[in-house]
Amino acid sequence: PEKEDVLKWLSSSKEIRPNRLAKVVVRAKGETYELIVDLTIGSIISDQVYTGYGYPPLTFSELFRASKLPLKYPKFKKSILRRGLNLSEVSCVPFTVGWFGEHITKRTLKIASFYRGGSVNVFARPIQGISIIVDVDSMKIIKYTDRLRAPVPKAEGTDFQSTKGKPNSTTCNITNGGFSIEGQMVKWGNWNFHVAFNARAGVIISTASIFDERKRKFRSVLYRGHVSETFVPYMDPTSEWYFRTFMDIGEFGFGRSADTLQPLIDCPGNAVFIDGYMVGADGLAQKVPRAICIFERYVGNLAWRHTEINVPGKVIRSGEPETSLVVRMVATVGNYDYILDWEFKQSGTIKVGVDLTGIPLMKATSYTNTDQIRENVYGSLIAENTVGVHHDHFLTYYLDLDVDGNDNSFIKTKLQTAKVSHQSTSATSPRKSYWAVVKKTAKTEAEARIQLGLEPAELLVVNPNKKTRLGNHVGYRLITGQPVNSLLSDYDYPQIRAAYTKYQVWVTAYNKLERWAGGFYADRSRGNDGLADWSQRNRAIDNKDIVLWYTVGFHHVPYQEDFPVMPTFHGGFELRPANYFESNPLLKQECKTC
């Protein structure tokens, strides 16, 4: 539904639901069809052929069918036989191919091959040197190359299966509180929010509001939040690798890649599981069992504490343990597993986390020791005959914040060094400098693009129409993680497609059609539709309905500890109240003067 209609419905008696429409994308006869379906009346109200750049996401059926083509292809059979390998132990994995300036007429995939042969770790035993291009619409191999050979890494030491069994995690997660789920609405403590599952984004959090004890009402924080796009470029320019510059959300989909969660491993014993539903390639409902879990977390952290020793004759100690509520899903996209968390705290903070794990993407090599390497292998030797290729992970989040209302502003607060002026302070002060706060409200989208790490800054979304009793504008602060920039050249084709990663922070005017940072049709896109392109319009964003975009980044240099499976690597950010409340909401003091 339209955002305006949803907000009106939420504030009404909720008897009459807003009219709902669905966009249906159909790939048939080599063309992409876009249909708009009115779900209320069950009728198609719009039908057109898409003629722009890019293609729809790949379906599981298409990827599966493409993976089987080489096993019946005569040239591939000969290549496997010449390498002395057993064809029945070969797995073929299709990869998207990106765009490199060429005129595109076909929807294609490239197939990489791997040898199981005594191992369940498919990606640990790559068969190097074979390139296969598949036309997806005709489902035929249209190009085949076998240009080099390298020893297939051995199977020994590649098994990633745990021998420890399932742990008993319930004891450290039993809490006295609780939460309720009514349909898709979650209620916990002072939070209310909606949880949804989407084929493209996976888990989506929406209409999140928090109860203010002083004002005795719920106040809005986040209208909608989810991962919008990823960018995973590998740093090997050779013919078998240069195209591996994946945009997982738009090319595959986190929802389509959502894994069934394992109780006591993926989620603790006190978790409640929610099934995910989406439309399959055949148009029918497709179920992902236990796609999302929700649980209270207590790990021994403190929400706050203090010891006061300056009261005569007393030592006063007080504090509270921190319990939070976590919404989690896991997307397994080929070799990598993304663990996505939305963590809600009673303090009003929303902590968003992503953990990377899974199997590094590797290539076979003749080298067994680093002393032998005399060329650029574009990675690290992490096992004998195995190079873990250097690469990046960027996850761009869509955050439609509605801080105590729709109309918000974005403020960049710089922390600048200032010299002490003895004319305005005591002449006896020995201080020479301090840092001062300099605030600037971004008026347009161009003013809100930020590359982090260049200077200290506080980033806030505020409601310029609402103030606290003390006169501060109510707001929420973006607490960023480690700043990671894309190091690719601006004119490199993968970077043109993923221009949204050149800045970690963007702010745009709200537009319901602008949700996917890499464009709606990301597969083989050219970068002409997406966040960087929309921002060029330089729309007004002061006291408007705005969207905050933030990119979590990782530069991954593989190490031996990443083999045969990588320990989790964490990144994320926080949305934290900034003058949103009159005081610390954890103390729940009633306002006697409001």
C-alpha R_g of the chain: 26
The answer to whether the CB of 386 falls within 8 A of the CB of 563 is: yes
> φ, ψ for residue 545 (rounded to 5)?
-75, 115
- Residue 336 among the catalytic residues: yes
SS (HEC) of 127-177? EEEEEEEEECCCCEEEEEEECCCCCCCCCCCCCCCCCCCCCCCHHHCCCCC
The answer to whether the CB of 399 falls within 8 A of the CB of 222 is: yes
Q: What share of the chain is helix, strand, coil (3-state, %, to 5)?
A: 10, 45, 45
The answer to whether the CB of 487 falls within 8 A of the CB of 494 is: no
The Cα 414–Cα 417 span in angstroms is 10
Reading the block at residue 459, the tokens are 């980033």
Kindly tell me the burial class for residue 301, based on how many C-beta atoms sit within 10 Å of its own C-beta (0-12, 13-18, 19 or more): exposed
The Cα 121–Cα 129 span in angstroms is 20
The Cα 144–Cα 263 span in angstroms is 44
Q: Comparing C-alpha atoms, which of 133, 137, 147, 56 is closest to residue 92?
A: 133
- Residue 398 among the catalytic residues: no
Kindly tell me the burial class for residue 513, based on how many C-beta atoms sit within 10 Å of its own C-beta (0-12, 13-18, 19 or more): exposed
Total Cβ atoms within 10 A of residue 262: 12
Reading the block at residue 205, the tokens are 């959090």
The Cα 90–Cα 545 span in angstroms is 53
Q: How far, CA to CA in Å, does 513 sit from each of 249, 518, 581?
A: 16, 13, 33
Among residues 248, 400, 404, 523, the one annotated as catalytic is: 248
Q: Comparing C-alpha atoms, which of 40, 42, 91, 37 is closest to residue 63?
A: 91
Among residues 115, 223, 336, 493, the one annotated as catalytic is: 336
**Residues acting as catalytic residues:** 248, 336
